[in-house]
Amino acid sequence: MDWDNVAAEDVMEALREVEWSTPPRSFGEFFSRFAFPRSFSKWKSRLKCNLYYYRTNYFILVIFVLGLALITRPLAIVGAAFTALSIAFLNDSFAATFNEKCIRTIRLFSPHLAAKMRPPHMPVIRGRSAARKTVYVCGKPRWVFVVIFLTASLVMWFSSCGLLWVLYALLTSLIVVIVHASVRTPNLKARLNTFREEFRAVWRNYSEL
């Protein structure tokens, strides 16, 4: 795939729709074959490629840096966990999986309540749902849970007096991710055999809208 022709918005859309349970790449693969890009266009292409291909590794890296920076602030660590959960809810696959498991668990205790938490019926227009991209969690739009967990994380950070420290840690983790994605040379074999077909499948889904 020619990543020069893939816009940043397309990468973000693909990250939102891709399967969340993809295991991280191996440690040896993640920390091997570094080189500086030869041009600005090569850098943009490599950055988009690596952000998509190593998405799980980068998510774990951000959480690890935050946890390491906040190890002496338990409330801030809880806040960071809430932030990670709110970010995970932005992924369609994670939100759908969380919704199904939550409703399945509630059904064991209250089938009536579980039935009420099912997403509302969507009208179908020309064979497609009118709100195809609307994802529900426990009967509510997922943005409700994103806002709830982000608010809870801010409260935790303020309570621990570590908001500024959290921002520094988050900025540091993002810089590390960008530096790694910029200098890690793409794994051509893995690109051809794994993520190219996966990305094309996602691309095909929303290009037909």
Q: What is the pLDDT of residue 205?
A: 55
Residues in the chain: 209
Q: In a structure prediction context, what are the per-residue pLDDT tens digits for the chain, which is 209 residues long?
A: 556 667 777 777 777 777 767 788 888 888 888 888 888 888 888 888 888 888 889 988 988 888 887 787 788 788 888 888 888 888 888 888 888 888 888 888 888 887 877 777 655 444 444 444 678 888 888 889 899 998 988 888 787 766 777 788 889 989 999 999 998 887 655 455 445 555 555 555 555 55
Q: What is the pLDDT of residue 193?
A: 44
- Which tokens is 29 given? 């693969």
Q: What is the pLDDT of residue 177?
A: 92
Q: What is the pLDDT of residue 192?
A: 53
pTM of the model: 0.69
Q: What is the pLDDT of residue 179?
A: 93
Closest CA to 23 of 151, 181, 190: 190
CA distance 182 to 38: 11
Q: What is the pLDDT of residue 51?
A: 86
